[in-house]
Each structure stands twice: as structure tokens, then as C-alpha cells.
Structure 1
């Protein structure tokens, strides 16, 4: 087995990795710029800020729920590299819409600007829906079996490092610069995506079902009867439900509880991204390339414990003087800042350790001609779970529950995730389903 980082030297992996990295960077640069602009420059109420973030999250998730089945069918029916080129070309047009929205809002046309920005979020959701099944399903075609976990870990780590870069940059550049940057990165992503090697369909042609509801139902029914896939998808769905709640809660919490400015808000999200990337690499090292849920229950229980610690730290935070927000210097000088950042990092590391092996299950449990549809089925269920998470935030927030208290909901979901992961590990052991890492070079 080659070292996982050695995959970055392979043409069968590097262009896909870079394409995914640039896409995640661009997506988060735009979304974070939009959310921070709305939170700090448009709205002045914690409830309105949370509602806007929940709406944006819901719009980005909706395409996964409606179109993942079609995306999976297409990815298993046509050359995946060709679909990547089409999707990356569409990203340029989507970012043109989003950039126009940013510029209009910056120049005082806030209603029109917000409408275009939210429209771009919806279109980016469609973009990610069609790219999502490919980035995992293509790995078994381009990598040897013993390198799939390492490749999955690198894709996850690269994704979260891209989220880090996009999130941090959004907090430091002007809106005009953000608008120009997202367009430029989209163009570069299209050029790199053209270098992904062919990955033609490996099974018989599929009869495409364009009805989103019947297609989704059939897709899920065809996948969820396999015990280890059912459990892996459920565990991943709970994880992303947790993620959706945290994404909605964090910006208002940083502004209104930690009383920090938008640069600190972007930095807090960036710390989370670094942690998931670290966790992705750590779990690959611990498992030594073996696809197993052995450490998943303990990882997500630890994640829930750190979430509770973070909630307690937020409750005891000494706010800035009324009418002021802490910049990075003042935030780091605050006596509680190191504990807050360290706890966030721990939440993210344990989260990455939990979810990466579960994604590897999706692409190794079924034959290569079914991998994209399996990932798509996972995306449908994930989208439904994340939508429920966003709705829960809206309903619970409407009852006056604070962001600090809402974190206890996250901790509770971690316990459910741990129970599912424990069942998965038992099923894996009973069926001898975990894939050992055989020595061999990547194709």
C-alpha cells in the first residue's frame, strides 16, 4: 500500500482532489461572505440572523433531497469525468449570479441582492448534488482497494481545508473582492476538472427515472435493505444533522454570545474545518487503511461531550462592552478564548474520526456500477435529516431557546449516532464485511 499522501502524485487522483478542493473553497467563500454580510451589515437581530442562516441552509439542502436520485443514475450511466466537466462549467454561471447579488447588496439594493444570493445558494446546491456522488464513486475506479480509505480521507481532509481557506478569506476581504474571486476560482476549477481521467460506466445502461419522488424512493429502497449500508447511511445522516445545527447556530452565537466580529466568526468556523481535516487523517492512520467502524462510537460520544463543554464555556463568557465587538486581538486576549478554540477543535477532530470510515463503506460495500447511486441514496437521506435539523432550529429558536441551550440537542444526537455506529461495527464483524488492506499499488 502506498502512503495516502502519495496518492497526490497520481494523475488518477490529483485532478479530482484539486477540483473538489477548489469547488469546496469557492462554495464556502461565497456562502460565508453572504452569511457574514447579512449577519453583520443587514440584520441586527439574533432571531432574524438565525432564520436567514436556516433559510440559506434549507435552500442548499433541497436539491440533494429532490435530485440526488437522478444524479446517482447519471453518474452510473455516463462517464463521470464528462459529468465533472459539465458541472464545473455550470459553476461559472452560478457564481456570476452570486457575485451580482453580493455587489447589488453592497450598493444598497439589498432585497434584489439577497434574492440573487439565495438563488445562487440554491443553484450551488444543485451543483453539489450532481458532483457529490462522483467524488466518492470514482475512487474505486481509479484506486486499488487498499487505497480507497486513504483516498476518501484525503478527499474529506482536502474538503475541510478548502472550507477553512474559503471561510477565513471571506472574513478578511471586501465584498467586491469576494465577487471577483468566486468567478476566477470557478474558471480555474473548470480547467482543472478537464484533467480528471475518464471513468466510464461499468454496468449496463440504466433507464433514467426523472420523477424525483419515485426515483428517490426506489433508490433508497434498493440500498437500505443492506444492513451495513442502512446503518452507515443513518449514522452519516445524524452526523450531518448535527452539522446543519452547528452551521446555523455558530455565526449568531459568535456575534451575540461571544460578542466577536465577523473575522472571528470566520476564524471559528475555520478552526472547525481544520479539526475535521485532522480527524480524517488521524482515523486513517489508526485504522491502517482498514475500513471499519471500530472507533466510530467512541469518537462521536467524545464529540458530544466536547459540545457540552463548549456550551458551558459560552455561558460563562464575559461579553464585550455594550455596542462593541471583539476583534481577533481582543478575542485572543480574552481569558476564555483558548478554551473555546481548543474545544471547537476537539469537536471537529472527533467528528472527522467518526464520519470518514462511514463514507468508505458506501463505495466498497456495493459493486462499482452501483457506487454513485449508493452515494446518492446517502445524499437523499442526509438532505432529509439536515432539513429536519434546520426546521428544528427554527422551531426551537421560535420558542426562545438560546444558541447555548440548542447545543444540548447536538449532544443528544451524538448519543444516537454512537448507538447506530456500534450496531454497524457489530454487523461488520458478524458479516466479516470490513475490507482489509492488501498490499498493492494504486491503479
Structure 2
């Protein structure tokens, strides 16, 4: 069963899918509304805007680095459905703080002293929230799905995530100058997410009880070290992490690039993220159809190589952007689309994301199918620890490039070069996969 649609009719999958979709939607609605509002309405400097965008990404990612090991242990040793419900209940309180921060910023009340710190506090708390939810959304799948359904379920979760990101991004673009409506929306969707989480079937722990190590440093180190013994999982983690290093650089660049290189307004910045999200969703489904449900990294090296090519195309299109008819007013979507190169910008973004989705989705399935079910959450958590560290490095790299004066378009070209490291990691993973298959074949 390598198609995904039948899973959407199953209670063992649908409530989890909807909860994850709402989670990604609300995360992105809040984060994108906050970044676009501050970039376009508070600051008036490309450097300050890039610093804020990078700082927001770092604040959101930091909890993944510090708390993923604890989250993975709890998920493996506790009923996963119970954790989901508690996490979604906490989201209601977190979004209350975020909504208040947006309201203060919109009204111009203590923007630097209170509003922005509250926005950052809520963003950090949402990072904690997502840290504890993250290991579950993948690790629960082998408990509720058949073996030949896991890749389909993983692809569907990934596609749903990016459809939700797309929808949240579209809405955020329209609400960037109507923040009071955005504040009410994020609260409402937090409540809906909690209600759907109550329908997720129970997923009790699969292994024997163990003592949880609450020291984030020792538990993180031990969890990562354990994964190094399994080459398939280890190379999958490295490949995913470097992929998201590139992704974090690109996502930080999008809003300032839209404003300062293409002279476009927040709706166009949102449109960039929308096309990126559609592309990952398409790539997630496409690779599952190509692999026919088999968990394999066969297409990963060529996918990320093609992604590098499309990042280079995106760079050259941005460099060739014609400023002939521009004035001081930022372009809306309609004006932007009237330029001949606009569709080349969007098309290259779409293909970057399609090939990126084809690269990364099978790798997530490695984390839950190449380890015992009792350790799946910890494998995902180990991945999240390394991912978060890589994304922080990516964020700092983007900030450093801006600090030394590297233009935004040239930063995009550097991202294309980084893809070649992912190609190498994809090749190493595929070799490890074939080696593991050779070891198993005599016993079969």
C-alpha cells in the first residue's frame, strides 16, 4: 500500500494528521505574522531586518537543541497520545501571550521594551511545545500503521505539514497589517488543535520502563552516540540536518530578499514561502510513488543535486530582476506577477522545494523503521538535536554573511554550494543502506 489516501479514512491516522496540520498551521501563522509585521512595520534597515529574522529563527530552534533528548525519552516511555494532548493544551496559554504581544505591537505600546520581548517569549515557548510534539508525530506511525504504510504515512504527514505552512503563510501575509485579527486567529486555532488532539488513539510505551535522564547535555550526548552505531540512521540524521541548515539560511533570506532585492510587500514574501511549501508537499508525495512504499535513499543524492541547480537558477533570476518601472512603493502580488521574471522566480522556488522534499522525506522514515519501535522517538529526538544545532549554525551563518556585507542574492548562491555536502551525505547513506541489505540477505 504505497498510496496515502486510504490512511485519511482511518482513525488510527486521521486525528494525528489533523492535529499535526493544525500545529504547523498555527506555528507558522504566528511566526510569519510576527516576522513580517516587525520587518515591514518596526525596522527600516536591511541589516536590522535580517538580524531580527535570524534571531527569531534561533529563538524558536534553541529548545530543540536543549530539550529534544528529554522529549524523546518521555515519548518512548509514556503514552504518546497523552503527551500530545498536554502539549496542545499548553499551546492555548502560549498563544495567549503571543496574541497579547501582537496586540501591543499593533497599538504601538512599548514595542521595543515589552511587545517584542513578549513575542519572542511566546516564540521560544512554541519552540518548547514543538520540541515535545516533534518526536511523536513520526515515532507514533509504526505503532498505528502497517510496515508498508509507514513511508506513505511519513510522506502524508510531511505533505500535510507544508500544506499547513502554505495556508498559514498565505493568511499571515494578509494579516501582517491586521494584527488584531491575527491575534484572535492564533488563539482560536490553538483551541481547535487541542480538541482534535483528544481523538488521537492511545500509543502506549513499547519497551521496558527506564529512568529518564533530565540532564539535557548528558542525555543528548548519549542519545546521539547511540545513533552512531547504526550507520543508516546516523547518515540519515546528518543528511537531514545539513538539508535544514540550507533551509534555515534560505528561510531567513526570503523576507529581506523580497523587500530589498525585489522591492515587494509582505504578501509577496508570503507567496515565496507558499510556493516553497507547495513544492515540499509535492516532492513528499512524488518520492513515495517513485519508491512504491519502500524506505530507501535511492533518489536522495540526485534530488539534492537538482535542488542545487535550481537554487543557482533562483540566484541568477534575482540578479537579472529588472528595476525599470520601480518606484518607492513596494509591489503587491498583482504588480509583482506583472513582471516577466516573476514566474521564473516562483518556478525556481517551487522546483527547489520539490527536489528538497524528494530528498528529505525518505530519510525521516529511516529514523522510525531502522530502529526498534521502543526507541523510535529517541531516534527522532536525536535527529531533532542535531537538526536544531545545524539550523542554529545556519542562522548564525546567515547573520555573519549579512554582518560582513555579503549581498542577499549572493547568500542564496552560497546555499547552492552547500547542497553538494548533502549530495555527498546522500551517497554515503545509500551505500550504508546497500551494505545493510547485503548483511541481511544471507539470512533471508
Q: TM-score range by the shorter chain?
A: over 0.9
The alignment status of 1:398 with 2:403, answered yes or no, reads yes
- Verify: 1:428 aligned to 2:421, yes or no: no
Q: Is the 8 A contact 1:4 1:154 kept in 2?
A: yes
Are the equivalent residues in 2 in contact too, given 1:428–1:434 (CA < 8 A)? no
Instruction: Name the CA distance, whole Å, in 2 between partners of 1:63 and 1:164.
Output: 24
Aligned-partner Cα distance in 1 for 2:70–2:2: 35
**Cross-structure match for 2:29:** 29
2:250 is matched with which residue? Answer: 246
Q: Structure 2 CA distance, aligned partners of 1:90 and 1:242?
A: 31
Alignment of 1:51-66 (within 5 A): 51-66=51-66
For residue 186 of structure 1, the aligned residue among 182, 187, 190 is 190
Match of 1:130 among 114, 129, 132: 132
- Mapped to 2, the partners of 1:106 and 1:388 lie a distance apart of 32
CA distance in 2, matches of 1:9, 1:434: 38
The within-5 A match list for 1:349-364 is 349-364=354-369
Distance 1:315 1:362 in 2: 39
Asked if 1:416 corresponds to 2:418, the answer is no
Q: Residue by residue, what CA displacement relative to the aligned partner does 1:181-209 show, whole Å, maximum 9, x if unpaired?
A: 00000000000000000000010112111
1:363-378 equivalent positions in 2, closer than 5 A: 363-378=368-383
| 2:280 is aligned with 1:276 | yes
1:225 CA displacement: 2.0
**TM-score, L = length of structure 1:** 0.97
Alpha carbons 1:70, 1:209 under 8 Å: kept: yes
Q: Do structure 1's residue 407 and structure 2's residue 412 form an aligned pair?
A: yes
Please give the alpha-carbon distance, in whole angstroms, between the structure 2 residues aligned to 1:328 and 1:393: 26
The alpha-carbon deviation at position 224 of structure 1 amounts to 1.8
2:8 paired with 1:8 = yes
Mapping for residues 279-294 of structure 1, pairs under 5 Å: 279-294=283-298
Number of residue pairs aligned between Structure 1 and Structure 2:
436
Q: Deviations over 1:19-46 (max 9, x none)?
A: 0000000000001100110111001111
Q: Is the 8 A contact 1:292 1:434 kept in 2?
A: no
1:291-310 equivalences in 2 (<5 Å): 291-310=295-314
Query: Residues 136-167 of structure 1: CA distance to partner in whole angstroms, max 9, x if unpaired?
Result: 00000000000000000000000000000000
Once the two structures are superposed, residues 367-392 of structure 1 have per-residue CA deviations (whole angstroms, 9 ceiling, x without a partner) of 10000000000000001111111111
CA offsets 1:386-440 (integer angstroms, 9 cap, x no match): 111111111111000011111122112210001111111111112118999xxxx
Contact between 1:291 and 1:435, CA under 8 Å: does it hold in 2? no
User: Per-residue displacement from partner, 1:307-330 (whole Å, max 9, x unpaired)?
Assistant: 011011111112353411111111
Q: SS of the residue aligned with 1:432?
A: helix
Match of 1:152 in 2: 154
Is 2:250 the partner of 1:259? no
Counterpart-to-counterpart distance in 2, 1:413 and 1:314: 19
- Which blocks of at least 5 consecutive residues in structure 2 are unaligned? none
Q: Which residue of 2 aligns with 1:140?
A: 142
Q: Secondary structure at the match of 1:206?
A: coil
SS in 1 for 2:34: helix
Q: Structure 1 stretches (4+) deviating beyond 4 angstroms?
A: 433-436
The equivalent of 2:322 in structure 1 is 318
Secondary structure of the corresponding residue to residue 233 of structure 2:
helix
SS at match of 1:197: coil
Relative distance call for 1:435 and 1:115 in structure 2 (3 A) is farther
Q: Secondary structure at the residue paired with 2:11? A: coil
Gaps in structure 1 of 5+ consecutive residues: 437-443
Matched, 1:164 2:169: no
TM-fit CA distance, 1:5: 1.1
Give the conservation status (yes or no) of the 8 Å contact 2:2–2:152: no
* Secondary structure, aligned partner of 2:222: helix
Equivalent position SS for 1:27: helix
Q: CA–CA distance in 2 between the matches of 1:404 and 1:81?
A: 44
In 2, the alpha carbon distance for the partners of 1:435 and 1:299 equals: 27
2:219 corresponds to? 215
1:179 Cα deviation (Å)? Answer: 0.3
- The DSSP-based 3-state class of the residue aligned with 2:331 is coil
C-alpha separation between the residues in 2 aligned to 1:146 and 1:65? 32
Q: Which residue of 2 aligns with 1:439?
A: none
Contact 1:291/1:434 (<8 A) preserved: no
CA distance in 2, matches of 1:91, 1:330: 38
Note the aligned Cα RMSD (angstroms).
1.3
Residues 1:30 and 1:238: Cα distance change in structure 2 (over 3 Å): same
